[in-house]
Amino acid sequence: MAYKPIVILSVCIQIVNGITSADIIASHNYPVEIHTVVTRDGYILTAFRIPDSIFCEQSGAKPAVLFQHGMTASSDVFLVNGPRDGLVFMLADACFDVWLSNTRGNRYSRRHVSLDPSQEAFWRFSWHEIGTEDVAASMDYILATTNQSALHYVGHSQGCTTLVVLLSMRPEYNQSVKTAILLGPPVFMGHTRTLGQIVLRDLIMSMPDCEFMFHNRILNKIMNGICEPYVMRVYCSTFFMIVNGKFSDHLNTSAIPLIVATLPAGVSSRQPKHFIQLSDSGRFSLFDFGILRNLIYYRRLTPPDYPLHNVRPLTPVHIFYSDDDLSAAKEDVENFAASLPEAVMHRISTPSWHHMDFVHSMTVAEVINKPVIEIFRRFEQPTRTISI
């Protein structure tokens, strides 16, 4: 039996750090709800819901879809492209009930029942806990709220990793996932070579448990102002792409001002540290605390691997990957797929398609969004007919 979290509904939460996901959704004339989920270890998470669309003529219950963002991002990352190219909006138009979660520690989820972000204990988590606790609690909340037994899942970057963690460590949640869409999944990382990893590696590995790459309202507002003029977008785009992997010919530069206004969203230092450990070892394993604490936590010198044989959602996992993604290298993704009981591969061979293009490309509607909607449509048939 899945754990049932404390659930609180609120439609009046205000985030004081500038523009919010609710602002973006409402600005495009979509209805928006703000929900609060409390995990079993006490973190208070914010989720945004798009329950309907003026383009959907269907009444009654709609299939639920959960979106999970990457490490330095928040729910904002799925919204900045707007209705024309944003998968969340396209799904709402196609009569899906869209939910966007936010992981512990980011700009929307900085509360706890007993801890404060100023305390080191608040930041003692990696994406392992995000998977086993945050994603689990979000699923339970959505399914309880919508009175459904399973949902569709879309994860980008770390949002893929956290689902794999949940399904491998708490396999009872496999029955709650109709379809799993993994966009650029960083699981095995032996071939990962991003500039950020190279430059920041020593700093990250030496850090205590603390907030890293925090969201700053003033700085983000300044960056938004700098990148707003059209002539500056090429420079802002170049910097953004280099930090996130390599140069891309596909980035939607019109979204850059909003991207820099919302990133980074705030993470724990353990999250990038855990990814670096994967890169060093070439394994997909639990967090390495060092020999002494490993013996205490795991009763062995090194952390165990995640049991990927447990990852068995209701349909085979769909993996979207590219030849030029340095954060989720082709060789590593194919190794990951081979380790799963079953997977459907969607290879993007377009030159210079990099990690953030899965959500920010100018052609994302054709390359990613429409195929994803078709995957969901096939699952929902024969009771539903959806026009894309």
Element of type H or E holding 66: strand 64-68
Q: Cα(62)–Cα(50) distance, rounded to whole angstroms?
A: 11
User: Is the four-CA dihedral 52, 55, 60, 61 of positive or negative sign?
Assistant: negative
Where in the sequence numbering do the catalytic residues fall?
Answer: 157, 325, 355
User: Is the four-CA dihedral 372, 375, 381, 387 of positive or negative sign?
Assistant: positive
Report yes or no: 383 and 359 within 8 Å, Cβ to Cβ: no
Nearest partner of 134 among 160, 107, 163, 172, judged by Cα: 163
Quote the tokens at residue 256.
Answer: 């850059």
Neighbouring residues of 184: CB distance < 8 A, sequence distance ≥ 6: 156, 157, 160, 320, 321, 322, 325, 327, 328, 355, 358
Q: What is the CA radius of gyration of the chain?
A: 19
Quote the tokens at residue 247.
Answer: 């140069």
3-state secondary structure of 137: helix
Quote the tokens at residue 7.
Answer: 């659930």
Q: Cα(371)–Cα(388) distance, rounded to whole angstroms?
A: 10
Neighbouring residues of 98: CB distance < 8 A, sequence distance ≥ 6: 49, 50, 51, 65, 67, 88, 91, 92
Q: Cα(92)–Cα(86) distance, rounded to whole angstroms?
A: 10
N- to C-terminal Cα separation, the chain: 36
Residue 155, judged by CB atoms within 10 A of its CB (0-12, 13-18, 19+), counts as: buried
What amino acid is encoded at 346 in this protein?
A: H
Quote the tokens at residue 376.
Answer: 């969901």
